[in-house]
Amino acid sequence: MTTLAWWLIRAQFRTRAAATCLSMLAIALGVALGYSIHLINEAALADFGRAMKVVQGDPDAVIAARDSSGGVPLATINAIARDPAVLAIAPVIETRVRIGNTGTPLRLIGLDVFSAAAVLPRLLPRNEGMTGGDIFGGRIFASPALLDRLGQRPGASVTLWRGDQRWQTTIAGDLPATGPDDLLLVADIAWVQEHFGPPDAVSEGRIRLAPDTDRANWRRDLAARLPADLLLRAAEDDQARVSNLSRAYRVNLNVLALVALLTGAFLVFATQLTAVAQRSTQFALLGVLGLSPRMRLLQVLLEGLAIGVPGALGGLALGYALALALTQRLGADLGGGYFSGSAPPIVPEVAPTLGFLTLGCAASLAGALYPAYLNRVQPLAQALKVGFLQHHRAGVPSHRRWRLPLLALSAFLMTRLPPAFDLPLAGYGSIALLLVLGVRSAPLLTQWLFGWLAARRLPAAQQIAVQNVAQAPLMAQVAASGLIVSFALTASMVIMVSSFRLAVNHWLDHVLPAPLYLRSKATPLPQDLLAGLERADAPFARVERMAQAALTIDARRPNVALLIRELERNNPAARLPFTGPLLTPPEDMAVVWVSEPMHEIYGIEPGQRLRLPLIGRVVDVFVGGIWRDYSRQFGAVTISRDDYLRLGGDFQPSDLALWPRPGQESAASDWLAGWTTGYGLELTDGIEIRHLSLSIFDKSFAVTYALEAAATLIGLFALAVTLAASVRLRARELATLGALGFDRRMLRRAVIFEGALIAAVGLLIGVACGIAIGAVLTHVVNPQAFHWRMSLAVPWLTVLGAAGLTLLAAVVASAYAAHQATRLPTAQILADVQ
Amino acid sequence: MRRRTFLTTPLLWPTLALAAPADTSVAYPPVTPGRRLVFPRDHGAHPDFRTEWWYVTGALDTPERDMGFQLTFFRSRPGTAEQLSSPIAARQILFAHAALTLPGDRLRHTERVARVGLGAAFSIDDCDVSIGAWRISRQGSGDRQTFRLQMQSPQFSYDFTLTPSQPLLLQGDNGYSRKGQRPQFASYYVSWPQLTVDGFLLFDGRRQAARGRAWFDHEWSTAVLSDGAVGWDWVGINLADGGALMAFRLRDAQAGTLFAHVAWRNAAGRLRQFETAEISFQVLRHWSSTRSGANYPVQLEIRFGEHTVRTLPVLDDQELSTSRPVPVVYWEGLVRVEGSFAGRGYLEMTGYADRLSI
């Protein structure tokens, strides 16, 4: 029995080598894409987690201010230290400084070496040789990576700048336990406080609890006693936050990989279906000789597995290679911009690897399921005589006609559902339904269109092709559905990305009104620069200042940006692109305007009164409106400088928008040049920022395009395979035609025309489905996953151009099938029939 | 904890691994004879001086006979960050060390380090020194005063109340205690022997009532190691007859005695002190540590005047090592004393392993 199974599998591989290899390749592609995304993400998270462990250690709890400009009072730190359950609390002051006039601000971590030893041991400094380094004496320590970057050795004198504050000191040694990507400076916490503040407070306290403490309870008790502007978070919260950073992006990529895998399963389906059809006589003979129906079913499944196992194994290898290549080229976030740093190491683990192997096998098994079923139910006698029975249903039975509208309705209703687990799961479901709808409507359209065409007068070859398509909807459906699915997905992505790009373009117009922008990147701008800008001889018609901070609203979510801008309280629309109505705030209340993502994530509505952690306490503010923001996915809130000052905030601008006086553009650049080189500030013009933003945008969709190309390729494979199979299936019919005087050219033309017709139907439905899915992506998936809203803009030229190209490719693929048709040994086939 | 650490400060003091030699511009006050100590004020911290410690050792009878415990707070003013105005400048650093000797079993110990202002605190008015939840504090006045010792750690915890049964003992010349031939090597040194211990002890998951006898020392100084000294041997013994015995010597590299001192207060309260010439330390038995390779004279015969006592450790292996950030290895533990007097107390021996680790 085993021998027979092997023999059949080997025969199958030999006779349908091309189709079998393509199926394997498709499975491999699906597995490879999914696996590589998984590997890359694991590597990125591990890398990010490791970097965070260096800086943050592995505390049981972290106490921090919700507002990045606030701090934890020393009294609170000391009170927590006295708790018997606390083994150690390591306070840190973290700030950003520049060394001399270098452009990028560096993280300076002020720590207390005594408590750091227990909680953040990897930040402990080491003295280099006999430099006489002394952390308590006000020397600093740099990570080896930073020393390399600076080209400095321990012993070097450096000046640290933060705004106007300056600290001249010496690098006393390095931080041996930091990684190759960690660019860090470490100094004693008191020295950092002395030079850069905050007085009487620290940025964070990282807590190590006694091992027998009930951590969750302890945290709950302490959190209940803390003032509202302080937040106690657990290490798990940080992990959740890291994972949340790229979660939606990742899920999106995984859905695409799943699509590739499904397309692979579909290709197996196409191959096996044709294989079963072609061998129906052989199977019928084996059946008569005693092969049970069950064994016939198992044989086809086994053949499916024989495709799936090597395919999935190949996919794992390919996925690993892909992960390596992609991380080297694009970085661990696949161009998504969520993580930074060099390529992380790719480390495959056993369980997920086996999982993806299983997934690949399951896909091929699923593909083989229906053909196996058909093989089981073939009536032997008939099959022996006339070959495979297509069981084709001419037309959709009337009792199933309601299915299509029902599918459409369900797909529509699912777009109305809210996100589940912060993910647009219903949106993805709706996309799946739309694809099913497209595939199921193919026979209907085929019959309707070709029934009508068949009634026209056409040349014989074309007439035959049309008749074939119209009357053998099973094969046509199989061939078309691959194209429908792959093209619909490709088109939808193109539509979504182009809508998004257009929206970003408009948005950039609105948010970049000034010709010049000066940024100091998270450190305050020097006061004398700000004073210089106020003088009458400064060559600027207008200057707008902005300060930034970060607020933690929910410890498990990434921080929300706080933007303090010089806006008119009554006319913020001059600078912010509002999406809805603008409400007038009560006179005595500070007003904030929240970004669209913040509105979606936290459910904040205009007109609502909000308690925000600002300036070291919690204040009541009025939500005046919602503005569009494509750059801060995790939310932003804007407050006017006047309101911020009124609340008692300290306005320390870090960003400037500058309008040079007309005709004095070059004078303006010269005027600023001294500041940019002296303080390491970054000056960019609006056009440059726009180019940069759009190039980042394009980069982040690079992988998406790669996946689309793969899906379309698989769709074309499917078309070629099915067509070739259907040609072989109709060998007798074609042989008869040949005997009747059809020459090879006519036969070829008939087959190519048939392929083109099927492709045309597939593409027609594909375009329609693509637009529908594009709308779902734009209006449901994007807002739910990324909290970005935009309007739908179909790039007709691109979509139709792509459809034309695919049709051309389909004709080429049909030519391959036609080539098979003309090589059929006519005489032998006809002789067999006798 | 490294009780006489100030003598070998540059070697033993953990912060100095990260700190440069102390800033000589810092003016530490000298230790001079004739200063009248005032209590409870002088139970409190003397932050101007370079080093200071509050040191409690004791022997328990409950829950188990000959259990030893020790809790030390060590204050250091390294002379760094003196010019800073930051409230958390590392001007004053506290180390605390706690140990528990389980006879026939082993020694457990744990430590804490923090700077004053960030987790650590002291009072300059009375004995009240703490790092987080670890604390030694004094309450009450006159005949009704007590000390409270609190410490928690994953290995063991205790909370003891110590009640004096005798008056304070001012070492040396009314608290001025010489540590070398030259007068600048000296400290202010106050002992309080024969304190009754009452409280509870938690280890191996069991909380048990604890009772015993303790010895309290408080010492502060500025002096550094006298020339040629590599280590010292010290004992503080509560005698069974109600007396108290304190003896120490400083050793040179050849294990010879550079300087020694003995104070013996008998049960009637009469204090006799002995000078180097009247004192001898004889080694009766060594114990070798397999961990450090150090050879400790765990059985010593100490003669002073006409008296002789011999030490007998309740456990040979009472060697301690701190690893952070430089390894320091020494022996400190509970011993019984026989000879002219019987009693129990603590023996500390340093400088036996250090030469090996350097």
Token representation of residue B285: 């038995």
DSSP state of B268: T
pLDDT of residue B19: 38
Average pLDDT for residues A359-383, to the nearest whole number?
80
Using an 8 Å Cβ cutoff, are B178 and B155 in contact?
no
> Percent of chain A at pLDDT above 70?
87
Give phi and psi for B131, each to the nearest 5.
-130, 110
Q: How many whole angstroms separate alpha carbon A729 and alpha carbon A389?
A: 11
Q: Do A87 and B324 touch (CB under 8 A)?
A: no
User: What pLDDT band is residue A532 in, cutting at 50, 70 and 90?
Assistant: confident
Mean pLDDT of A760-768: 89
pLDDT at A259 over 60: yes
CA distance A693 to A696: 5
Contact between B356 and B296 under an 8 Å Cβ cutoff? The reply is no
Q: What is the mean pLDDT of residues A766-790?
A: 88
DSSP E strands, A452-569: 516-519, 540-551, 560-565
Cβ contact, residue pair A134, B19, below 8 Å: yes
Q: How far apart are CA B100 and CA B320, in angstroms?
A: 11
Higher-pLDDT residue of B48 and B325 is: B48
Q: What is the tens place of the pLDDT at every residue in A464-494?
A: 777 776 666 566 677 777 788 888 888 888 8
Q: State the pLDDT at residue A3.
A: 76
Q: Where is average pLDDT lowest: A130-134, A532-536, A666-670, B85-89? A: A130-134
Share of chain A above pLDDT 90, in %: 13
Two structure tokens written together for A510:
């609105």
Top pLDDT among A740 and B242 is at B242
pLDDT of residue A381: 67
Q: Which residue of A has its CA nearest to B89?
A: A190
Domain boundaries, chain A: 1-60+249-386, 70-233, 460-512+687-834, 521-680
Which DSSP category does B165 fall into? S
Which of A419-428, B197-206, B296-305 shows the lowest per-residue confidence on average (mean pLDDT)? A419-428
pLDDT, greater one: A53 or A768: A768
Pair A314, A28: CB distance under 8 Å:
yes
- The residue ranking higher by pLDDT, A238 or A331, is A238
Q: Which of A130, A136, A169, A207 to probe by mutation at the B interface, max B CB count within 10 Å?
A: A136
For residue A616, pLDDT beyond 90? no
Mean pLDDT across the stretch B174-178?
92
Residue A722 has pLDDT above 60, yes or no: yes
Element (H, E) at A235: helix A235-278
φ/ψ (deg, to 5) at B45: -80, 155
Beta pairing partners, B319:
B331
Main-chain dihedrals φ then ψ at residue B49, nearest 5 degrees: -70, 160
**Predicted confidence (pLDDT) per residue in B6-41, tens digit:** 333 322 333 333 333 444 568 889 899 999 999 999
Lowest mean pLDDT: which of A90-94, A347-351, A696-700? A696-700
Radius of gyration of chain B (CA): 19
pLDDT above 50 for A580: yes
* Range with top average pLDDT, A320-329, A439-448, A696-705, B137-146: B137-146
Please indicate whether residue A214 or residue A742 has the higher confidence score (pLDDT): A214
Q: B111: closest CA among A62, A205, A124, A115?
A: A115
- Predicted confidence at residue A60, as pLDDT, reads 87
pLDDT tens column, A783-817: 888 788 888 888 999 889 988 988 888 888 788 77
Give this complex's ipTM.
0.88
Q: In this predicted model, which residue has the larger pLDDT, B276 or A524?
A: B276
Residue with tokens 């359209």: A445
Number of A/B CB contacts below 8 angstroms equals 107
| CB atoms B113 and A114 under 8 Å | yes
What pLDDT was estimated at residue A342? 54
Q: Which residues of B touch A169 (CB under 8 A)?
A: none
User: Which of A186-190, A711-715, B74-78, B223-227 ranks highest by mean pLDDT?
Assistant: A186-190
SS3 A18: helix
A289 or B128, which is more confident: B128
What is d(CA A642, CA A710) in angstroms, rounded to the nearest whole number?
54
pLDDT exceeds 90 at position B193:
yes
B235 pLDDT band (50/70/90 cuts)?
Answer: very high
Amino acid A35 reads Y
B152 touches chain A (CB under 8 A): yes
pLDDT at A284 exceeding the cut of 90: no
pLDDT attached to residue A20: 79
Task: Say what the pTM is.
Answer: 0.73
With a cut of 80, say whether residue A575 has pLDDT above it: yes
Answer whether B86 sits within 8 Å of A212, measured CB to CB.
Answer: no
Average pLDDT over residues A716-732: 71
A13, A19, A24, A28 alpha-carbon torsion, rounded to 10° = 160
* A682 — pLDDT class (breaks 50, 70, 90): confident
Q: Which of A139, A91, A151 is nearest to A115 (CA)?
A: A91
B10 part of contact set with chain A, CB < 8 Å:
no
B204 CB near a chain A CB, below 8 Å? no
Q: Is the pLDDT of residue A617 over 50?
A: yes
pLDDT for position A276: 77
Q: Please give the residue of chain A at the shortest CA–CA distance from B16.
A: A134
Contacts of B283 (CB under 8 A, 6+ apart): B297, B299, B300, B301
Q: What is the pLDDT of residue A471?
A: 67
Decide if B311 touches A, using CB distance below 8 A.
Answer: no
Instruction: State which residue of chain A sits closest to B159, comparing Cα positions.
Output: A84
What whole-number distance in Å separates Cα of residue B80 and Cα of residue A134?
9
List chain A residues with CB under 8 Å of B84: 138, 190-191, 194
d(CA A375, CA A379): 9
The greatest distance separating any two alpha carbons of chain A, rounded to the nearest whole angstrom, comes to 105
Query: What residue of A is the nearest CA neighbor of B152?
Result: A84
Give pLDDT, residue B23.
47
| Length in residues, chain A | 834
Give chain A's contact residues with B (Cβ, < 8 Å): 74, 77-78, 81-84, 86-89, 91, 112-115, 117, 124-125, 127, 132-138, 188-191, 193-194, 199-200, 202, 210-212
Q: What is the mean pLDDT of chain A?
A: 81
Distance separating alpha carbons of residues A524 and A652, to the nearest angstrom: 6
Compute the distance between CA of residue A108 and CA of residue A187 in angstroms, rounded to an integer: 7
For residues B260 and B276, is the Cβ–Cβ distance under 8 A?
A: yes
A820: tokens are 């098979």
Q: Is A586 exposed, middle or buried (0-12, 13-18, 19+ CB in 10 A)?
A: exposed
**Domains of chain B by residue range:** 5-13+39-357
How many secondary structure helices (H) and strands (E) does chain B include? 2, 23
Whole-number pLDDT of residue B15: 37
Choose among A414, A491, A38: nearest CA to A258.
A38
For A377-408, the pLDDT digits (tens) are 777 666 666 555 555 444 444 556 677 888 88
A246, two tokens: 């790229």
CATH level 2 (architecture), domain B5-13+39-357: Beta Barrel (2.40)
Average pLDDT over residues B274-303: 93
- The token duo for B57 is 């050792």
Query: CA of B164 to nearest chain A CA: how many angstroms apart?
Result: 27
Residue A797 and residue A750 in contact, taking contact as beta carbons nearer than 8 Å: no
Beta bridge partners of A67: A551
Answer whether B214 touches A (CB < 8 Å). Answer: no
Calpha distance A598→A627 (Å, rounded): 10
